[in-house]
């Protein structure tokens, strides 16, 4: 007897003639081949992964593609953020071209945000554009980077400064892949889950207050619900504003502050992106309350939930650095979201009520940093 496949949910990113499905569920890598064949009609796929993820899921994905009748090859990159550069992009493109691809060849990005970004970018430029599928294996990639078509690499001038909007044909978020994810990576990805509640879904934030521990500790239903709700929130925003001409910028809640913190710590493992975003979101809430826009009890709820999720809520929780307000503000001024010289802030009127503001006085930001750095103790 053949067992029924584990349950999976299907969402659509509604982008007209390039709309695509997101599937969220367990056991999806094992049946990726049939889903990919159905969604893309491809006969041949190149799986792009990193060494760590390839050793965990590469063989299963390749077999699944072959069972569905697709020819499959694997290209494996080194793990880690340094892979997202011009040198690795060039080598990836050359290795894929050496496999004698055609316009109908599909790229399948199997991994976290780094792999999704560089493989998606390569797909966007190889033979002037190949179709690609995202198979995100980290929480951060499942709830954020694999959805919405942002692809790219880093340069010495900054992160993600070279890239393309290139939407995938399908996103397969297999929640089983989170079972092997290091706890710290999981918590960092969870910050992006919290973000969706804080932007525009207070009921989801309340649900996270009640079920966040279950999500982090591995409860399968809670995880599926959290990933699904996050993907639904992101799909809705991307569906309304694909190119970030307005509303999509709300997805940067906590990111402008977070980017400055990451810039000071070198964008490495000392402070993970999600950890920086977590503290950045609390700073955005605190700034909003100081400006008289947000009730203080909401700030306290955010702080409590971040702390309960073992995410940073104070400079004392960050790696030790000679933190100064001036340096942090200078990083914020170099963020690629600066427009006509003004920093775009995502501020809040409360939990679930985020909005964009470009007229926050610099001295308020300096005071915010100074006060928080001073309480470092």
Residues β-bridged to residue 132: 107
By CB under 6 A, tell whether 303 contacts ligand GLY.
no
Q: Which of 195, 223, 255, 305 is catalytic?
A: 255
- Closest to ligand GLY by CB, 106 or 235: 235
Q: Does the annotation count 252 as an active-site position? A: yes
Shortest distance in whole angstroms from residue 175 CB to ligand GLY: 20
Q: Does the annotation count 223 as an active-site position? A: no
Encode the chain in three state secondary structure: CCCCCCCEEEEEECCHHHCEEEEEECCCCCCHHHHHHHHHCCCEEEEEEEHHHHHHHHHHHHHHHHHCCCEEEEEEECCCHHHCCHHHHHHHHHHHHHCCCCCCCEEEEEECHHHHHHHHHHHHHHHHCCCEEEEECCHHHHHHHCCCCEEEEEECCEEEEEEEECCCCEEEEEHHHHHHCCHHHHHHHHHHHHHHHHHHCHHHHHHHHHHHHHHHHCCHHHHHHHHHHHHHHHHHHHHHCCCCCCHHHHHHCCHHHHHHHHHHHCCCCCCCHHHHHHHHHHHHHHHHHHCCCCCHHHHHHHHHHHHHCCCCCCHHHCCCCCCCHHHHHHHHHCCCCCECCECCEEEECCCCCEEEECCCCHHHHHHHHHHHHHCCC
Do residues 309 and 277 lie in contact, with contact meaning Cβ atoms separated by under 8 Å?
no
- Closest to ligand GLY by CB, 25 or 148: 148
Shortest distance in whole angstroms from residue 244 CB to ligand GLY: 6
Q: Does the annotation count 262 as an active-site position? A: no
Q: Which of 248, 290, 327, 367 is catalytic?
A: 248
Q: Does the annotation count 255 as an active-site position? A: yes
Q: Which of 84, 166, 225, 252 is catalytic?
A: 252
- Closest to ligand GLY by CB, 195 or 224: 195
| Interacting positions 209-268 with ligand GLY (CB under 6 A) | 244, 248, 251
Q: Does the annotation count 244 as an active-site position? A: yes
Cα–Cα distance measured from residue 223 to residue 212, given in angstroms and rounded to the nearest whole number: 9
Q: Does the annotation count 150 as an active-site position? A: yes
Cα–Cα distance measured from residue 247 to residue 253, given in angstroms and rounded to the nearest whole number: 11
- Closest to ligand GLY by CB, 144 or 262: 144
Shortest distance in whole angstroms from residue 193 CB to ligand GLY: 13
Q: Which of 31, 150, 187, 224 is catalytic?
A: 150
- Closest to ligand GLY by CB, 29 or 173: 173
Shortest distance in whole angstroms from residue 112 CB to ligand GLY: 13
Q: Which of 9, 209, 244, 247 is catalytic?
A: 244
| Interacting positions 135-164 with ligand GLY (CB under 6 A) | 144, 148, 150
- Closest to ligand GLY by CB, 233 or 263: 233
- Closest to ligand GLY by CB, 148 or 212: 148
Q: Does the annotation count 334 as an active-site position? A: no
Structure tokens at 221: 């239903």
Q: Which of 166, 273, 301, 305 is catalytic?
A: 273
Q: Which of 234, 301, 305, 372 is catalytic?
A: 234
How many residues bind to ligand GLY according to rule CB under 6 A? 6
| Interacting positions 93-112 with ligand GLY (CB under 6 A) | none
Shortest distance in whole angstroms from residue 178 CB to ligand GLY: 19
Interface ranges with ligand GLY (CB under 6 A): 144, 148, 150, 244, 248, 251
User: Active-site residues: which are they?
Assistant: 128, 150, 192, 234, 244, 248, 252, 255, 259, 273
């Amino acid at each position: 007897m053949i067992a029924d496949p584990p349950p999976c949910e299907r969402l659509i990113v509604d982008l007209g003639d390039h709309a695509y499905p997101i599937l969220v569920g367990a056991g999806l890598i094992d049946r990726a081949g049939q889903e990919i064949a159905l969604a893309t009609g491809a006969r041949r796929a190149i799986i792009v992964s990193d060494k760590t993820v390839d050793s965990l899921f590469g063989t299963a994905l390749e077999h699944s593609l072959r069972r569905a009748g697709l020819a499959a090859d694997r290209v494996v990159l080194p793990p880690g953020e340094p892979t997202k550069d011009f040198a690795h992009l060039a080598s990836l493109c050359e290795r894929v071209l050496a496999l004698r691809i055609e316009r109908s060849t599909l790229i399948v990005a199997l991994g976290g945000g780094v792999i999704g970004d560089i493989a998606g970018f390569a797909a966007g430029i190889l033979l002037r554009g190949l179709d690609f599928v995202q198979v995100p294996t980290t929480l951060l990639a499942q709830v954020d980077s694999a959805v919405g078509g942002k692809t790219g690499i880093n340069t010495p001038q900054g992160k993600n400064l070279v890239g393309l909007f290139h939407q995938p044909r399908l996103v397969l978020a297999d929640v089983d892949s989170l079972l092997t994810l290091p706890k710290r990576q999981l918590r960092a990805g969870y910050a992006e889950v919290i973000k969706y509640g804080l932007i525009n879904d207070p009921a989801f934030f309340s649900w996270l207050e009640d079920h966040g521990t279950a999500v982090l500790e591995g409860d399968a239903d809670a995880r599926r619900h959290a990933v699904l709700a996050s993907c639904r929130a992101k799909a809705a925003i991307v569906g309304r504003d694909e190119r970030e001409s307005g509303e999509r910028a709300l997805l940067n809640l906590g990111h402008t502050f977070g980017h400055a913190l990451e810039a000071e710590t070198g964008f490495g493992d000392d402070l993970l992106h999600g950890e920086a975003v977590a503290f950045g979101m609390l700073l955005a809430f605190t700034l909003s309350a100081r400006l008289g826009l947000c009730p203080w009890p909401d700030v306290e709820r955010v702080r409590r939930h971040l702390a309960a999720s073992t995410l940073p809520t104070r400079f004392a929780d960050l790696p030790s650095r000679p933190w100064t307000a001036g340096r942090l503000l200078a990083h914020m001024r170099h963020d690629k979201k600066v427009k006509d010289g003004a920093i775009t802030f995502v501020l809040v009127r409360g939990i679930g009520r985020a909005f964009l503001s470009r007229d926050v006085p610099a001295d308020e930001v300096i005071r915010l940093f100074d006060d928080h750095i001073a309480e470092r103790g």
